[in-house]
């Protein structure tokens, strides 16, 4: 049995399958060096097998943004637990008790000789003495009936036994807010409280003056309308909270690999059981408490548990791993000893609740808009209140029969108070209509709707603000492998023995020694694994796509130390001084042969192949460090290498990626490819994907190498950043520099990434997009959105959804402001001129419900259209209310105000009601005004769908929610007019009056078409006023 020392070293970079692609010659002492390398040291000696440092990486401590409150809570709980433990130890010592770390009695856990308490006492206390008494990790694995190499059997019966004995890897969630809590929140609205008080007073006075049968209508109607508003608002908010809760649960559902029955399978973190064997790689989260089986320079970031940012190195002296921590460096395998609430992480997570109260920048802006409109509405309501009260108490207000309502000294106190309460109710209701509480609701609705639909489009939103920010994205810096390409690699070309092998897997062309060395290098210098089923079927290869491809190729091809290297072909080749020819002879690498190999690499790169070179060198055993600690910090010799083979791997472009890139370019979003691949490979793929139109374009700075960009000053980088389309041989640090340069130039940048070292770039970008399949947990936690299928087409869908969020909010603002302006102007003019208002409190509350909750539901859930991608990105500082919106809403509001005021003052003669009784005529006129006003809003809701398009019905039948809400509103309006007159102070209308109402509403459609023909200036109105104010100030300053 040969003795293997193997060292696989690299830098924390983008994709695991790109690890061979970076520059190779970095040393351990340079933590931010971008060189990519794979090294394997194999010592062939009989007797034993020892593996060293199989996945060496450089240390890089990330400065990630943390949620400070959550961190503080975790630290406090952790500190409390440690304090309690210390107090018990102190008390025991004070009582003179001897605290022994003797082996606990092996209590049986059903099928297993060891119980959960014994496992917990070992892992929680980090008790190495007790661990040794159990026989170390091997002894624990025997007690748990686990094979340290093949894992557990993993059948249903086995998993059930383990869950029954040790629990599942889940923890109880804190109960979310109940529906009644949302009801209570809705009740706390000040305007609704005032209305409820007014309703109660009106109810009491009405019953007192008119009796129980007739007197409850006015007060009861207002109370019912208020309760309806409260219930609908609470239901809407409660449904959104459930959606956000489900999305948060999806974020916590991490998928990872475990070894069961000798093979690696992917499962949910919730499916882990005690006894599972789990491979750990850089960037992973430790999914449960456990003990290290084997580790290669394994370093764990335990800051999430201890609060200290110190990186802890794990080995046989300190083998205990805590759930929730992150792998900062190296790799290894662990045996799970505690899951769920039996881990400290589980206890912490059960004691804190997920905060879904994030407020996005758009919500903040809209709150400001809502506050301003509310202040205007409040001012108008105060004016109306003062005017109406003055008219009432001065004897200028008459009832429906023409009688003066208040006569000083003659009118009863109860009647006077009743009249005053009705006036106050109208004023308060105007405030209810004027305060656009639907604006924040519309944002919540559209964000929740977008998040849910984006999940179906393979995008998991981690931060709400990212939804809207994507609508402003001007640049996307995308990875190549797995995002623009399929991430399915195969070896299609190979050079070994100094010549090209055709086909590449032809074993007969390889000499015995070369074949043996290649198998050695391919099989040992890898993070992949090969599983041979017992039935002897086809072998299964796992690992990153590059590793899998080379392992498949290796499987097809079948007293000193060997150091094996694998990495970017031109970098490894530069370190080679010899090669093995077809006769197993070591031949010096002369200039001619070096040129021929470089030519082969260039030819493969031109065909968009990824080139990987495999090399080795011999080393004296006595020069190998003797101890594990020394070997962990040993800089491996990287000169005088012997070239074994150069292979070219094909990773085809994803279907449809060219169309997606073209769609981005057309919509004003520049796509830049940032890859660790050879510049020539990157160039070929960029042309294939449509990022470059032709190879003739591929000149600097359009295509640039990472090291060239890195060597520039900030000013130079700023100058060329916008021109760059492709960056090859780049490191995550280069990507970070590019993002910073673009942001300094005013771009809104979206970045894709999946490696641990991508975290700074993901954090720096306006929108960080982590890859769901290839991405590490560290990258995902630094991102705003996780692309679940690693596909660039999904990134483009996210851009569409981002624009849709803005578009839907703008549709709703246009609709709501039209109602606001019309309702306020009509009531104010009528109140000031005649002392009465055509729209009473109950009617206004119904309009408020249509305008706010139902309007938000209808317009905020419009799906994105292709038309959104015909526009440029939404400017960050662009006003929410555009010139087009101002034009549309002012035209509609002026039309509604004009028609309804004419009806208010000349309605009796126009409708032919001059011969009717005064009381009945006024009621019919006011009912028609109310009906026409509501129907105008329903028709205008269609206009709001397409603010800048003529065809307002495009796609309307596909939006079932919109059609349902419009239909429901029409049905309820008919019921209100025809059957609920006593509640709403309306009367039934005949068919002619219904037809008049419908025609008034219908005219808004052709009017909108005519309005859209009116051109609007490109400069926002806000800017025009700002410039005007600035010009006025200049002469004043000069004087």
What is the rounded average pLDDT of the residues 226-253?
Answer: 77
Is 215 in contact with 207 (CB distance < 8 Å)? yes
- Confidence tier at 974 by pLDDT (50, 70, 90): very high
244 CB neighbour count, 10 Å cutoff: 21
Residues listed for the chain = 1039
Let me know: does 270 contact 253? Beta carbons within 8 Å: yes
pLDDT at position 1010 over 90: yes
Nearest to 654 by CA among 796, 489, 485: 485
**SS3 letters across 520-574:** HHHHHCCCCEEECCCCCCCCEEECCHHHHHHHHHHHHHCCCEEEEEEEEHHHHHH
Q: Is the pLDDT of residue 433 over 50?
A: yes
DSSP string, 809-848: HHHHHHHHHHHHHHHHHHHHHHHHHHS--SS-HHHHHHHH
The residue that leads in pLDDT, 608 or 258, is 258
pLDDT surpasses 80 at 1030: no
Q: Specify burial of residue 870 (Cβ count, 10 A radius: 0-12, 13-18, 19+).
A: exposed
CA angle (852, 857, 860) in 5-degree steps: 100
Helices (H), 955-1020: 960-979, 981-984, 991-1002, 1004-1012
| Mean pLDDT calculated for residue range 991-999 | 93
CA 901, CA 823: separation in Å to the nearest integer? 11
Q: Is 553's pLDDT higher than 50?
A: no
Average pLDDT over residues 941-968: 89
Q: How confident is the model at residue 417 (pLDDT cuts 50, 70, 90)?
A: confident
Instruction: Pull the structure tokens for residue 548.
Output: 């899998």
Helices (H), 47-127: 68-94, 116-124
927/562: higher pLDDT: 927
Please give, one letter per residue, the 3-state secondary structure of 616-631.
Answer: EEEECHHHCCCCHHHH
Mean pLDDT of the chain: 77
Q: How far is CA 803 from CA 470, 750, 809, 866, 944, in A?
A: 7, 14, 10, 11, 16
Please check the confidence at residue 1002 and state whether its pLDDT lies above 90.
yes
Q: What is the Cα–Cα distance from 964 to 858, expressed in whole angstroms?
A: 9
Is the pLDDT at 2 greater than 70, yes or no?
no
**588 C-beta neighbours (distance < 10 Å), count:** 8
Residue 268 in this model has a pLDDT that exceeds 80: yes
What confidence score (pLDDT) does residue 891 get? Answer: 93
* SS3 label, residue 350: helix
pLDDT score for 1006: 94
| 451 phi/psi in degrees, rounded to 5 | -60, -40
Instruction: 871-876: list long-range contacts, CB under 8 Å, 24+ apart.
Output: 871/667, 871/668, 871/803, 872/667, 872/668, 873/471, 873/472, 873/473, 873/474, 873/667, 873/668, 873/669, 873/748, 873/803, 874/471, 874/472, 874/803, 874/806, 875/472, 876/472, 876/748
Task: Name which of 20-29, 279-288, 684-693 the model is least confident about.
Answer: 20-29
Residues 411 and 764: their CA atoms lie apart, in Å, by 72
- Give 537-540 contacts, CB < 8 A, sequence gap 24+: 540/263
Cβ proximity of 816 and 434 under 8 Å: no
Name the more confident of 632 and 1000. Answer: 1000
Cβ proximity of 774 and 15 under 8 Å: yes
Residues contacting residue 889 through CB under 8 Å, at least 6 positions apart: 814, 817, 818, 821
731/708 Cα distance (integer angstroms) = 12
Task: Give the pLDDT band (50/70/90) at residue 358.
Answer: low
Strand segments, DSSP code E, in 215-325 are 255-260, 263-268, 277-281, 289-301, 311-313, 320-321
How many C-beta neighbours within 10 Å does residue 992 have? 10
Q: Are 772 and 460 in contact (CB under 8 A)?
A: yes
> Any idea which residue has 């259209």 for tokens?
865
The share of the chain scoring above pLDDT 70, in percent, equals 78
924, pLDDT greater than 60: yes
Please give the pLDDT value at position 359: 59
The sign of the CA dihedral 203, 205, 206, 212 is positive
pLDDT at 1036 over 70: no
Out of 619-633, 651-665, 780-794, pick the least confident. Answer: 619-633
| Average pLDDT for 918-936 | 89
**Which of 112, 107, 164, 98 has its CA nearest to residue 141?**
112
**Which run of H or E residues covers position 43?**
strand 38-43
pLDDT digits (tens, 9 = 90+) for 841-900: 778 778 877 777 788 788 888 888 888 888 888 776 777 788 888 899 899 999 999 998
Question: In this model, does residue 712 exceed pLDDT 70?
Answer: yes
At residue 200, the 3 state secondary structure works out as helix
Predicted confidence (pLDDT) at residue 707 exceeds the cutoff of 60: yes
Beta pairing, strands 726-728 & 670-674? parallel
What pLDDT does 103 receive?
47
- pLDDT of the residue at 898: 93
Nearest partner of 336 among 203, 504, 576, 165, judged by Cα: 165
Range 153-157 average pLDDT: 88
Q: Read off φ and ψ for residue 670, nearest 5 degrees.
A: -85, 130
Hey, what are 861's tokens? 């859930």
Report yes or no: 384 and 828 within 8 Å, Cβ to Cβ.
yes
Name which of 6, 21, 52 is nearest 520 in CA terms: 6
Model confidence pLDDT, tens digit, residues 169-218: 887 777 777 889 888 888 887 767 777 877 787 787 777 767 777 778 77
Range from 23-27, 260-264, 387-391 carrying the lowest mean pLDDT = 23-27
Low-confidence winner among 262-276, 455-469, 547-561, 664-678 (lowest mean pLDDT): 547-561
Mean pLDDT of 286-307: 83
140 backbone dihedrals φ, ψ, rounded to 5°: -60, -40
Helix (H) or strand (E) holding 442: helix 438-456
CB 461 within 8 A of CB 411: no
- pLDDT over 60 (residue 113): yes
Eight-class DSSP state of 288: S
Summarize pLDDT for 329-353 with one digit per residue, the tens: 888 899 999 998 888 777 766 665 5
pTM of the predicted model as reported, rounded to 2 decimal places: 0.70
Most confident range, picked from 47-56, 574-583, 693-702: 574-583
The predicted model gives 954-966 an average pLDDT of 88
Question: From its phi and psi, is residue 402 left (phi > 0), alpha (psi between -120 and 50) or beta?
Answer: left
Q: Output b/e per residue, 783-809; b: 16+ Cβ within 10 A.
A: bbbbbbbbbbbbbbbbbbbbbbbbbbb
Say whether pLDDT at 116 is over 50. Answer: yes
Q: What are the b/e assignments for 318-347, b being 16+ CB within 10 Å?
A: ebbbbbbbbbbbbbbbbbbbbbbbbbbbbb
pLDDT of residue 932: 94
Among the listed ranges 361-370, 568-577, 819-828, which one has the minimum average pLDDT value?
A: 361-370
In the block, residue with structure tokens 């080379």:
550
- Which residues belong to the active site? 479
3-state class of 926 per DSSP?
Answer: helix
Amino acid 9: pLDDT: 29
Report the range of poorest mean pLDDT among 405-414, 902-911, 990-999: 405-414
Q: Which residues contact 386 (CB under 8 A, 6 or more apart)?
A: none
For residue 818, the Cα-to-chain-centroid distance in whole angstroms is 34
Could you list the beta-strand ranges (E) of 754-813: 767-771, 785-787
Q: What are phi and psi of 117, to 5 degrees?
A: -65, -40
pLDDT confidence bin for 17, thresholds 50/70/90: very low
Q: Please state the separation of Cα 411 from the chain's center in Å.
A: 65
Check residue 89 and give its pLDDT.
52
- Give yes or no for residue 672 having a pLDDT over 90: yes
> How much is the pLDDT for 669?
92
Query: Residue 24 has which token pair?
Result: 């190779």
Of residues 39 and 788, more confidently modeled? 788
Q: What is the mean pLDDT of residues 267-280?
A: 91
Residue 900: how many CB atoms within 10 A of its CB? 26
């Amino acid at each position: 049995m040969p003795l293997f020392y193997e060292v696989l070293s690299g830098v924390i970079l983008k994709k695991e399958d790109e690890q061979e692609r970076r520059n190779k010659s970095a040393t351990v002492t340079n933590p931010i060096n971008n060189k990519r390398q794979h090294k394997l040291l194999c010592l062939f000696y009989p007797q034993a097998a020892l593996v060293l440092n199989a996945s060496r990486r450089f240390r890089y401590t990330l400065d990630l943004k943390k949620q400070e409150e959550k961190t503080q809570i975790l630290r406090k709980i952790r500190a409390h637990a440690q304090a309690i433990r210390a107090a018990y130890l102190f008390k025991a010592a004070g009582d003179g008790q001897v605290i022994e770390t003797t082996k606990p009695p092996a209590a049986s856990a059903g099928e297993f000789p060891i119980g959960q308490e014994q496992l917990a006492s070992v892992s929680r206390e980090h008790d190495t003495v007790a661990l040794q008494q159990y026989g170390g990790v091997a002894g624990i694995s025997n007690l748990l009936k686990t094979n340290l190499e093949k894992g557990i059997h993993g059948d249903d019966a086995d998993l059930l036994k383990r869950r029954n004995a040790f629990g599942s890897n889940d923890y109880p969630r804190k109960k979310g807010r109940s529906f009644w809590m949302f009801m209570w929140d809705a009740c706390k609205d000040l305007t609704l409280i005032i209305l409820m008080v007014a309703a109660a007073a009106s109810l009491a006075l009405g019953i007192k003056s008119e009796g129980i049968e007739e007197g409850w209508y006015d007060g009861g109607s207002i109370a019912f309308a208020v309760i309806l508003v409260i219930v609908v608002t609470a239901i809407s908010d409660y449904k959104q909270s459930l959606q956000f809760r489900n999305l948060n649960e999806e974020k916590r559902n991490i998928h990872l690999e475990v070894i069961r029955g000798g093979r690696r399978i992917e499962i949910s973190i919730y499916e882990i059981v005690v006894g599972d064997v789990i491979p750990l790689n850089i960037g992973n989260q430790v999914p449960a408490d456990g003990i290290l089986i084997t580790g290669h320079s394994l370093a764990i970031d335990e800051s999430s548990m201890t609060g200290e940012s110190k990186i802890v190195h794990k080995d046989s002296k300190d083998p205990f791993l805590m759930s929730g921590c992150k792998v900062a460096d190296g790799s290894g395998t662990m045996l799970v000893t505690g899951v769920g609430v039996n881990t400290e992480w589980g206890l912490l997570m059960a004691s804190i609740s997920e905060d879904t109260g994030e407020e996005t920048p758009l919500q903040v802006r809209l709150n400001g808009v809502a506050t301003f409109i509310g202040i205007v509405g409040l001012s108008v309501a105060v004016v109306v209140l003062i005017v109406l009260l003055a008219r009432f108490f001065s004897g200028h207000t008459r009832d429906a029969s023409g009688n003066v309502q208040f006569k000083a000294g003659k009118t009863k106190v109860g009647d006077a108070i009743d009249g005053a309460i009705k006036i106050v109710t109208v004023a308060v209701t105007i405030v209810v209509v004027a305060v656009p509480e639907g604006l924040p609701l519309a944002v919540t609705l559209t964000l929740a709707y977008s998040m849910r639909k984006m999940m179906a489009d393979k995008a998991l939103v981690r931060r709400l603000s990212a939804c809207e920010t994507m609508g402003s994205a001007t640049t996307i810096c995308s990875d190549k492998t797995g995002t623009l390409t399929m991430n399915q690699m195969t070896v299609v070309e190979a050079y070994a023995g100094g010549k090209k092998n055709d086909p590449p897997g032809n074993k007969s062309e390889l000499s015995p020694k070369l074949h043996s060395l290649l198998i050695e290098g391919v099989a040992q210098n890898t993070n992949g694994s090969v599983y041979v089923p017992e039935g002897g079927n086809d072998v299964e290869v796992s690992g990153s796509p590059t590793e899998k491809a080379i392992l498949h190729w290796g499987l097809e091809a079948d007293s000193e130390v060997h150091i094996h290297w694998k990495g970017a072909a031109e970098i490894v080749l530069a370190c080679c001084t010899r090669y093995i020819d077809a006769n197993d002879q070591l031949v010096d690498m002369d200039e001619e042969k070096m040129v021929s190999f470089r030519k082969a690499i260039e030819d493969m790169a031109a065909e968009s192949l990824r080139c990987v070179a495999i090399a080795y060198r011999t080393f004296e055993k006595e020069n190998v460090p003797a101890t594990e600690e020394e070997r962990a910090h040993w800089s491996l010799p990287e000169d005088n290498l012997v070239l074994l083979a150069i292979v070219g791997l094909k990773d085809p472009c994803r279907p449809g990626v060219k169309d997606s890139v073209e769609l981005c370019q057309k919509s004003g979003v520049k796509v830049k490819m940032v890859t660790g691949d050879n510049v020539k490979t990157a160039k070929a793929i960029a042309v294939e994907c449509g990022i470059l139109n032709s190879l003739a374009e591929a000149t600097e700075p359009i295509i640039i190498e990472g090291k060239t960009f890195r060597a520039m000053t900030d000013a130079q980088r700023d100058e060329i950043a916008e021109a760059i389309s492709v960056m090859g041989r780049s490191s995550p640090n280069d990507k970070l520099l590019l993002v910073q340069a673009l942001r300094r130039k005013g771009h809104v940048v979206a970045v894709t990434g999946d490696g641990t070292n991508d975290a700074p770039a993901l954090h720096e970008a306006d929108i960080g997009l982590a890859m769901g399949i290839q991405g590490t947990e560290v990258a995902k936690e630094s991102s705003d959105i996780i692309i679940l299928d690693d596909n660039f087409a999904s990134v483009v869908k996210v851009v569409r959804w981002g624009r849709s969020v803005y578009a839907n909010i703008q549709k709703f603002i246009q609709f709501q402001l039209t109602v606001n302006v019309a309702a306020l102007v009509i009531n104010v003019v009528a109140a000031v001129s005649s002392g009465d208002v055509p729209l009473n409190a109950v009617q206004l509350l119904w309009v408020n419900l249509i305008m706010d909750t139902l309007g938000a539901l209808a317009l905020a859930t419009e799906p994105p259209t292709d038309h959104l991608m015909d526009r440029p990105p939404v400017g960050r500082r662009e006003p929410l209310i555009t010139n087009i919106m101002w034009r549309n809403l002012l035209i509609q509001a002026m039309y509604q105000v004009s028609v309804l005021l004419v009806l208010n003052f000349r309605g009796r003669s126009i409708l032919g009601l001059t011969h009717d009784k005064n009381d009945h005529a006024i009621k019919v006129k006011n009912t028609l005004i109310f009906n026409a006003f509501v129907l105008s809003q329903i028709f205008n809701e269609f206009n709001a769908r397409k603010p800048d398009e003529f065809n307002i019905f495009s796609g309307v039948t596909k939006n079932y929610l919109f059609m349902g809400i419009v239909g429901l509103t029409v049905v309820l309006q008919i019921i209100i007019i025809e059957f609920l007159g006593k509640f709403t102070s309306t009367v039934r209308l005949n068919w002619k009056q219904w037809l008049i109402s419908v025609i008034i509403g219908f005219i808004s459609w052709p009017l909108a078409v005519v309005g859209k023909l009116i051109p609007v200036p490109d400069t926002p109105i806000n800017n025009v006023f700002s410039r005007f104010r600035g010009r006025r100030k200049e002469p004043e300053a000069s004087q």
